[in-house]
Amino acid sequence: MSAAYLSLLGVLIPLLALAGLGLLASKFKAWGSRQEAALLAIALLCLVTGLTAGLFATPPETKMREVMRILYVHVPTAWNALVFATVALIAAIGSLSNKRRSWDATNTAAIEVGLVFVVMLLIQGSIWGKATWDSFWEWDPRLTTTAIMGVSFAGVLSLRSFADGGDRKRVWTAVASIIAYIDVPIVYFVVDLAPGIHQERSSPGTVSDEFHWPLRAVAFGLLFLGSWLVLKRGRLELLTTEAEAEAPAADGPALVAGGE
């Protein structure tokens, strides 16, 4: 495949995926289990091919040898964490402007999936850091921003669990999500400016061609898997909030008339 064709695919497929995710936000109730199973199957296919290739078929990197293979999970995890944070933002705005519960469910699900990805990211990065920098943590803009992002997401979920009543849950989750999202680029920008703080830049922007396609495969795999998770988690959230809304009626007196 020529490089131009691959680049075109590299732009088209993410755009299509994002458009599809946009549809998910309010339409997932209509999705049947067959479409979801297909999504999961494609996700797993991408992940297996990408990771296997990354682990066994690509050459080891010059300086870091095998340790560099962490790249194949690390970079896609980072991309996807930001994607799902964005999905959460869109859902949060939708949730505030249109009270339909599916927006709120998507908001919560995306924040939670995003949090899972951020935790994964921090652990992978920490392991990689131990291998190359000989320390589990450094005060680098990217690391700090990611940690802040993780705490913000956990905070949103915490807030949600303390909210009483469906409407408060919806509004508080949405507002907190929006504020958290604004915060992340600001934190990155500010910490980047901070003078005198020890900085270690590591940008995987300059990666040679052999590494590209496993990277992309895993990225899409995680994207589809994450979307499948958002679907499932969103549906769970819908069921849970509906059950809570109906709960008072469920605890009623005994059904048997002359029973007492």
Partner 1 sequence: MDKTESTAVAENNNPFTGEITGGWGYVGAAYGISLSLLLAYTLVVTFRLRSAQAARRTS
Partner 2 sequence: MSLLQQTLAVLRKDLLLDWRAQGRTTAVLLFGLTTLLLFSFAAGGRGSSGRDLAGGFLWLALLLASTLALAESFRVEVEDEALEGLVLLPVRPAALYFGKALGNTGFLLAMSAVLAPVTIGLFGATVRGSYLQLIAFLVLGIAGLAGPGTLHAAITARARGRDVLLPLLLFPLIVPVLVAAVSGTTLVLQGDPMGRATTWLAVLAIFDGLYWSACGLLFGKVVDA
State yes or no: residue 155 binds partner 2 (CB under 8 A): yes
Compute how many other C-beta atoms are within 10 angstroms of the C-beta atom of residue 114: 29
Among 194, 204, 244, 245, binds partner 1 (CB under 8 A): 204
**Candidates 56-64, 87-95, 142-150, 185-193 — which segment interacts with partner 1 by CB under 8 A?**
56-64
Binding-site partner at residue 199 among partner 2, partner 1, none, CB < 5 to 8 Å by type: partner 1
Closest to partner 2 by CB, 75 or 90: 90
Tokens 């509004």 label which residue? 171
Output the CA angle 187-188-190, nearest 5 degrees. 65
Q: How far apart are CA 200 and CA 203, in angstroms?
A: 10
- Establish if 93 lies at the interface with partner 2 (CB under 8 A): no
Q: Which of residues 66-105 bind partner 1 (CB under 8 A)?
A: 66-71, 73-74, 77
Under a CB-based contact definition with an 8 Å cutoff, are residues 73 and 51 in contact? Answer: yes
Rule CB under 8 A: say whether 162 interacts with partner 2.
Answer: yes
Q: Give long-range contacts, CB 8 A cutoff, 24+ apart: 181-189.
A: 181/85, 181/86, 181/88, 181/89, 181/92, 183/148, 183/152, 184/85, 184/145, 184/148, 184/149, 184/152, 187/144, 187/145, 187/148, 187/149, 188/141, 188/142, 188/145
- Cα angle 239-241-243, degrees, rounded to a multiple of 5: 65
Q: How many residues belong to the site for partner 1 (CB under 8 A)?
A: 53
Please identify, among the stretches 65-73, 90-98, 162-170, 179-187, the one whose residues bind partner 1 according to the rule CB under 8 A.
Answer: 65-73
Contact criterion met (CB below 8 Å) for 66 and 198:
no
First to last CA, the chain: 78
| Least distance between partner 2 and beta carbon 159 (Å) | 6
Task: With H, G, I as helix, E, B as strand and everything else as coil, classify residue 65.
Answer: strand
Binding mask 117-136 for partner 1 (x = CB under 8 A): --xx--xx--xx-xxxxx--
Query: Is residue 170 part of the contact set for partner 2 (CB under 8 A)?
Result: yes
Residue owning tokens 């979801």: 36
| Nearer of residues 77 and 146 to partner 2, judged by Cβ | 146
Binding site for partner 2 (CB under 8 A): 96, 144, 148-149, 151-152, 154-156, 158-159, 162-164, 167-168, 170-172, 174-176, 178-180, 182-183, 186-187, 189-191, 193-195
Binding site for partner 1 (CB under 8 A): 51, 55, 59-71, 73-74, 77, 113, 116, 119-120, 123-124, 127-128, 130-134, 199-202, 204, 206-208, 210-211, 225, 229, 232-233, 235-236, 239-240, 242-243, 246, 250
